[in-house]
Every structure is written in C-alpha cells, then in structure tokens.
A = this chain, B = another copy of it.
Amino acid sequence: MSLLVIGTLAYDSIETAYDRRSEVLGGSATYFAAAASSFGPLDLVGVVGRDFKPEHREFLVRRGVDVAGLEVAHGETFRWSGRYEADWNTRHTLATHLNVLESFDPKIPERGRKSEFLFLANAEPRVQHKALDQVEHPKFVMADTMNLWIDIAKDSLLHLLRRVDAVVLNEEEARMLTGERSLLRAAGAVLGLGPRYVVLKKGEHGAFLISKDVHFSIPAYPVENVVDPTGAGDCFAGGFMGYLASQKKHDPATLRKAMVFGTVTASFCVEGFSVEGLSSRSRTDVDARYDELLSIVTV
C-alpha cells in the first residue's frame, strides 16, 4: 500500500495509578506505524538521536515500515514523561525534552513523495506544511494536532486545515479550535475551516466522523484492562489510514469501516505499555476484534 506518516519518535516515561515504565519506545509516528502496519507496509519520516536503539529500528522494519526517511541527528531522541490519574481521563505532562525535534527539517525520500495516503501526525504545523509540500499528488491527507499548536501556531494550523482532506481531533482540541462547547457543533465548525472530514476522538467514549454527507459514530471497544492510554489516538489514526490505504480508496463506506478498524487498533494499544499491546497482534486478531466490535453495535 502507499502510505506515509510523518511524526515523532520518542522515549516515554509513564506513570499510571497501577504501574510505570521508563524510557519506552513512543512517539506519534511510532504508534501510528505500529497500528497501520497491520494492514500493509508503509513509509515513515521522522528524526531520532544517536541514542535511538537498534532494536527499536528493527521493530519498525519487522512490522514492514520503510525507515529510509528516519533521520538520525546529532543529539538525543525526543523525551516525554507523563502521569495518568486512576480514571485515565486526566493526564499530567511531567516533562518534555524536544532534543533533536527542535530543529527537525523533514526530508521525504523519493518513494514517500509519491505516497497516495499521507498522515501528518501531531507536530509543529510548520513541519507538517513542509512535509505536505514534498508529497506530489496525495489522494487523501489527514492531519492531527494538539492544544499547544492551537495556542501558539493557530494561523499556520488554520492554513494547514485548508490543505488537508481530514483532521483528527480530540474533544478539547475541537472546542479550543472553534470556541464551541457542544462537541457536535465544534465538529461542524471545524468542517467550516476547510477539511472535508472531521474525526472526533472521545477516548473511552469512542469516536465519530462527520462531513457534509457522512455521519458515523462508534463506541470504544470495551477494554477490560487498560494498561496505558498513551498513543491510543495515533493508533486510531494508524488503523484508520492503514485500512484506507490497503483499500486504495476513501469513499464513505470505506471511511466507516476505517473508523471501526481505528477503534480496534486503539483498543489493542491501550492494553500494554509502549507498542506492546499492538506488537503481538496479527491482522487476524484485528479482524476478529473488528467483528466483535461490530456485533456490539448491531441490533
């Protein structure tokens, strides 16, 4: 399939109410790739430091990720540490060290430039624009973002929204971006900012997709034992884009199925720290949970 992700690779240190991990593989591009690779090979563009471990590069390669666009820069890999409250809904960022990310200037290799499906994972909008500039004729581009960029780079982000087909946001981001308190109105207002499709992620409450002509809503898969929610949104996007790219289309019927696959890959993600929840899962596991999730919402 023809899918490219540009985003971050990180070493995360995470505390939950039940457990903790230090310096585990994370980052938006990592999580996306771990999920999307269930559907076929993809290309990854990002930057790491000299400290990035060979086993983590090998993990990506083993999942079918082409890492020709993974730059190794002087300095250290991006670090993030955070703590979750027992209800999982509150996350405290304890530290962020951008390190090599600070001066990241994405260079997309030849093959990636011809990608048909492109995911601009959460990054500074300037970097997202630069990546988008280099992809020649993408058929479907989805972007993610975060509250920080809405705060400090809103103009650049608004410009980006006019250049993409879809944007994926969580509740807080949608409200911040539009000033609308009602989630449905906020999502509608985001459509007015340019993208044809808006995917709203509601964590444990599922996700919905709206456009002028599609409205699709899916509850979260009922995970019995949440271990670590880090990366769930990126894994959602990975399942969503991975499925679209595997089908080579993005018509409404395919988008609906992609929402279900995204929900499934996000559910595997939260069942382990780092990429553990996904790395042991095969496409067969994904398909089985897809069927199970559909059975939960079918009358």
Contact = CB atoms under 8 A, between A and B. Distances in A.
Contacts of A253: 299
Interface stretch (A63-71, A74-82, A142-150, A202-210): A202-210
Q: Which of A184, A206, A299 has the most chain B CB within a 10 Å cutoff?
A: A299
A222 B257 contact: no
Given A202-B205, A206-B205, A294-B299, A185 B224 contact: yes
B87 A296 contact: no
A86 interface: yes
Contact of A297 (B87, B184, B216): B216
Contacts of A206: 205-206, 219
Contacts of A181: 86-87
B219 A219 contact: yes
A215 interface: yes
Contact of A222 (B215, B222, B296): B215
B184 A224 contact: yes
Contacts of A297: 216-218, 297
Contacts of A298: 256, 298
Interface in A248-299: 253, 256-257, 260, 294, 296-299
A24 interface: no
A182 interface: yes
A239 to B, nearest CB: 14
A202 B222 CA distance: 14
A218 B217 CA distance: 9
Interface string A221-243: 01110100000000000000000
Given A183-B204, A216-B297, A217-B296, 9 more contacts: A182-B226, A185-B224, A208-B222, A217-B297, A219-B219, A253-B299, A257-B299, A297-B297, A298-B298
Interface of A: 86-87, 181-185, 202, 204-206, 208, 215-219, 222-224, 226, 253, 256-257, 260, 294, 296-299
13 contacts: A87-B181, A184-B223, A184-B224, A202-B205, A205-B205, A206-B206, A206-B219, A215-B296, A216-B299, A217-B219, A217-B222, A217-B296, A253-B299
